[in-house]
């Protein structure tokens, strides 16, 4: 049996990093793990520019065309992780998988705070709103109709770590209905925990800034376009803030870059500091204080009970600052404006940060499943694979 995931990816470093513990577990236990990647079918012009990626026991299958993909699905018995979205360009591939009656699971176990209104409406122009309605709403309706008509199969299991989503889905899925639903069953899973198997000791050695890429495409799509001067100001204020904190706490500052960030730009603007990609969890574990604007990686810091400071600035743009406000309201973190000259009382700030640590469990208990080790996504998926072997 092939254990794999259906995906649409150009660069696998980020994808592997996000679920490193799951992919490592499955690839070693079952000797191989496949990424079944439709990116080059959808983007034929880029077929000659494949990114190299190597991890032991991980196989990336890049079919050149639909026939090659269809033959692969037809000749192999497959247990499939299917987190592929239901946008219009993906619907045919959901149909292709359904034709083979493949057992499918989906999961959402990364702590991401999202706000539908802020992210998809408040910061969109008229054209973007129409595009959003067409690409998301219409594809959702079409996908639902195809499931009702049994053209596309239901996904067998959805694993959910966020309590609000789990209980909402459960209420909906427990209602008797003539119509087939997208998932056959909804089960709990733990929120993804930091991958720490090879990290032996917490050194509390660094002040770590977790970058979210100020020029991220998600920001640009929502109308946040920073001109050259704003970008220069942002890095100027950020650099000064990091230097100040370094002096106060006498700790080395490390920058953990977002996978999409332009490392040349960051090295030019923040040249005093060491910076790394795909090593965020390692530095979170070894940090004394974590700094961020907007990053799901911060939840590793919350699980590890790290001192956290949220950073804001008008130079970041309206959308990015709305996201900062959202975090502030939900988690009640200490928040600093990097534009303001900081005159920090080290003792007072440390006390405030330590007091915040007590709130982390309340926050996690309110929003996520995270305490029961039997609910790890590795154990849950392994359990289903064993039933099929």
Confidence of residue 384 (pLDDT cuts 50, 70, 90): very high
Of residues 93 and 49, more confidently modeled: 93
For residues 143 and 58, state if they share a domain. Answer: yes
Residue 320 and residue 211 in one domain: yes
Chain segment 112-137, per-residue pLDDT in tens: 666 556 666 565 667 766 776 677 77
Residues 179 and 257 in one domain: no
| Same domain (yes/no): 262, 184 | no
Shared-domain flag, residues 130 and 152:
yes
Residue 324 has pLDDT above 90, yes or no: no
Q: What pTM value is reported for the model?
A: 0.84
- Both 316 and 377 in a single domain? no
pLDDT digits (tens, 9 = 90+) for 337-367: 999 877 778 889 999 999 999 888 888 888 8
Cα dist. 136→91, 141, 146, 165, 303 in Å? 12, 9, 15, 19, 33
Tens-digit pLDDT profile for residues 244-269: 999 999 999 999 999 889 999 999 99
CA distance linking residue 263 with residue 227, whole number of Å: 19
Q: Is the pLDDT of residue 224 over 90?
A: no
pLDDT of 118 = 60
| Rounded (10°) CA dihedral 257, 262, 263, 268 | -120
Are the C-beta atoms of 136 and 221 separated by less than 8 Å?
A: no
pLDDT averaged over the chain? 87
User: What is the pLDDT averaged over residues 46-63?
Assistant: 80
The domain tally of the chain equals 2
Q: Is residue 201 part of a domain?
A: no
Residue range 59-63: average pLDDT? 94
pLDDT at position 121 is: 59
Task: List the structure tokens of 297.
Answer: 């990686």
174 and 218 belong to one structural domain: no
Residues 22 and 170 in one domain: yes
Residue 87's domain comprises 2-191+370-388
Q: What is the CATH number of the domain that holds 339?
A: 3.40.50.2000
Q: What is the mean pLDDT of residues 147-168?
A: 93
Provide the pLDDT for residue 343: 72
Same domain, 379 and 358: no
pLDDT at 191: 87
Question: Is residue 223 domain-resident?
Answer: yes
pLDDT digit string (tens) for 269-282? 999 999 999 899 88
Tell me, yes or no, whether 358 lies in a domain: yes
The per-residue pLDDT for 7 is: 95
Whether 152 shows a pLDDT value over 70: the answer reads yes
Q: Are residues 165 and 299 in the same domain?
A: no
Compute the distance between CA of residue 253 and CA of residue 238 in angstroms, rounded to an integer: 12
Q: What pLDDT, on a 0 to 100 scale, did the predictor assign at position 42?
A: 93
**pLDDT on residue 17:** 84
């Amino acid at each position: 049996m092939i254990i794999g995931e259906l995906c649409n990816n150009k660069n696998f470093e980020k994808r592997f990093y996000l679920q490193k513990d799951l992919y490592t577990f499955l690839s070693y236990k079952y000797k191989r793990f496949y990424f079944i990647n439709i990116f080059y079918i959808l983007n034929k012009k880029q077929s000659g520019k494949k990114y190299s990626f190597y991890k032991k026991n991980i196989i990336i299958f890049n079919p050149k065309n639909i026939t090659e993909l269809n033959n692969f699905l037809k000749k192999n018995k497959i247990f499939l992780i299917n987190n592929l979205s239901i946008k219009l360009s993906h619907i045919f591939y959901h149909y292709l998988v359904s034709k083979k009656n493949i057992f499918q699971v989906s999961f959402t176990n990364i702590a991401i705070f999202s706000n539908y209104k802020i992210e998809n409406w408040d910061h969109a122009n008229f054209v973007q709103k129409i595009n959003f309605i067409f690409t998301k709403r219409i594809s959702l309706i079409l996908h639902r109709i195809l499931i009702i008509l049994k053209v596309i199969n239901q996904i067998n299991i959805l694993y959910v770590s966020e309590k609000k989503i789990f209980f909402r889905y459960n209420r909906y899925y427990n209602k008797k209905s003539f119509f087939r639903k997208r998932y056959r069953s909804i089960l709990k899973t733990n929120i993804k925990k930091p991958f720490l198997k090879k990290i032996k000791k917490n050194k509390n050695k660094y002040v770590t800034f977790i970058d979210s890429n100020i020029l991220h495409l998600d920001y640009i799509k929502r109308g946040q376009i920073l001109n050259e001067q704003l970008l220069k100001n942002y890095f100027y204020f950020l650099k000064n803030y990091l230097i100040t904190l370094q002096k106060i706490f006498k700790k080395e500052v490390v920058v953990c870059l977002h996978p999409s960030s332009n490392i040349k730009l960051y090295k030019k603007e923040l040249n005093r500091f060491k910076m790394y990609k795909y090593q965020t969890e390692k530095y979170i574990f070894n940090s004394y204080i974590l700094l961020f604007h907007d990053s799901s990686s911060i939840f590793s810091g919350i699980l590890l009970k790290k001192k956290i400071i949220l950073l804001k600035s008008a130079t970041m743009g309206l959308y990015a600052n709305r996201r900062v406000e959202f975090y502030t309201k939900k988690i009640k973190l200490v928040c600093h404006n990097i534009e303001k000259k900081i005159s920090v009382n080290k003792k007072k700030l440390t006390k405030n940060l330590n007091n915040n640590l007590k709130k982390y469990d309340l926050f996690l208990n309110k929003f996520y499943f995270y305490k029961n080790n039997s609910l790890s996504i590795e154990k849950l998926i392994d359990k289903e694979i064993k039933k099929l072997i």
